[in-house]
Amino acid sequence: EDQVTQSPEALRLQEGESSSLNCSYTVSGLRGLFWYRQDPGKGPEFLFTLYSAGEEKEKERLKATLTKKESFLHITAPKPEDSATYLCAVQASGGSYIPTFGRGTSLIVHP
Amino acid sequence: DAGVIQSPRHEVTEMGQEVTLRCKPISGHNSLFWYRQTMMRGLELLIYFNNNVPIDDSGMPEDRFSAKMPNASFSTLKIQPSEPRDSAVYFCASSSKADTEAFFGQGTRLTVV
């Protein structure tokens, strides 16, 4: 069974204090790993897709990286508007492509 | 495109009543997903449609839940009869292909009292 574990569950940062969120996964074969951002009262918003170990993607202050067992979402010099829950999902190769979501990391950035 | 549109945004109903949630996917997307999100269990997939056909409904909790997709631009999730434990936020999402990123609607917050 595919498993996705995100850590920490919650993270509080000061504005400008860089940090990383972790997504560890167990899957028979990885087709893709997705990162989403979810604001309170809204649906998850797509950020990145990673497909193979060593791949990196960036968007503004966010950079996602992928290894064979985990993915990191690095946040550089965060701002209060980066406060949200960040969700990771993995999609196994073969089968129906249904992604398995982690529980998310709730990030709060204080001004 | 306006994105995935769900209605209603909020629904409060009494236990035993029928509830119908509605979803309009992004035009041109051929995959549609219904998810349920709670604090206890996070985001759970209920059912997945591809080209209007249900492919995987193993996440549907029990026979009280049913979903339909009569055409490419509309889907419903029905709960009959509803129970307090069904209280959650229900999301609909669509993607252009089964293995690409999904785009989520704003969700329907369901409260069963």
Dihedrals φ, ψ of A104, to 5°?
95, 160
Q: Which one, of A13, A81, A66, A94, lies nearest residue B98 by Cα?
A: A94
- Segment A70-92 shows an average pLDDT of 97
Longest dimension (CA), chain B: 38
> With an 8 Å Cβ cutoff, are A97 and B4 in contact?
no
> With an 8 Å Cβ cutoff, are A43 and B104 in contact?
yes
Cis peptide before B8 (omega within 30 of 0): yes
Sheet of A19-26, strands arranged across: A3-7, A19-26, A70-75, A62-66, A56-59
d(CA A88, CA A99): 10
Interface test with B, best of A2, A37, A51, A97 (most B CBs within 10 A): A97
CB of B38 within 8 Å of a chain A CB? The answer is no
Please give, rounded to a whole number of angstroms, the shortest distance from the CA of A89 to a CA of chain B.
10
CB of A72 within 8 Å of a chain B CB? The answer is no
CB of A1 within 8 Å of a chain B CB? The answer is no
CB of A34 within 8 Å of a chain B CB? The answer is yes
> With an 8 Å Cβ cutoff, are A43 and B4 in contact?
yes
> pLDDT band at residue B100, thresholds of 50, 70 and 90?
confident
Instruction: Give contacts of A93 with chain B, Cβ < 8 Å.
Output: none
Each residue of A29-50: pLDDT tens digit? 899 999 999 999 999 999 999 9
> With an 8 Å Cβ cutoff, are B42 and A91 in contact?
no
> Residue A82: left if φ>0, alpha if ψ -120 to 50, beta else—which one?
alpha
Cis peptide before B81 (omega within 30 of 0): yes
Q: Which one, of A68, A69, A65, A92, lies nearest residue A2 by Cα?
A: A92
Residue with token string 């839940």 = B65
pLDDT of residue B8: 97
Would you say A68 and A54 are in contact if contact means Cβ atoms under 8 Å apart?
no
Which amino acid would we find at residue B8? P
Each residue of B6-60: pLDDT tens digit? 999 999 999 999 999 999 999 999 999 999 999 989 999 999 999 999 999 989 9
pLDDT of residue B1: 66
Would you say B65 and B77 are in contact if contact means Cβ atoms under 8 Å apart?
yes
Cis peptide before B54 (omega within 30 of 0): no
Supply angle C-alpha A79, A84, B32, rounded to 5. Answer: 135
Please give, rounded to a whole number of angstroms, the shortest distance from the CA of B64 to a CA of chain A.
23
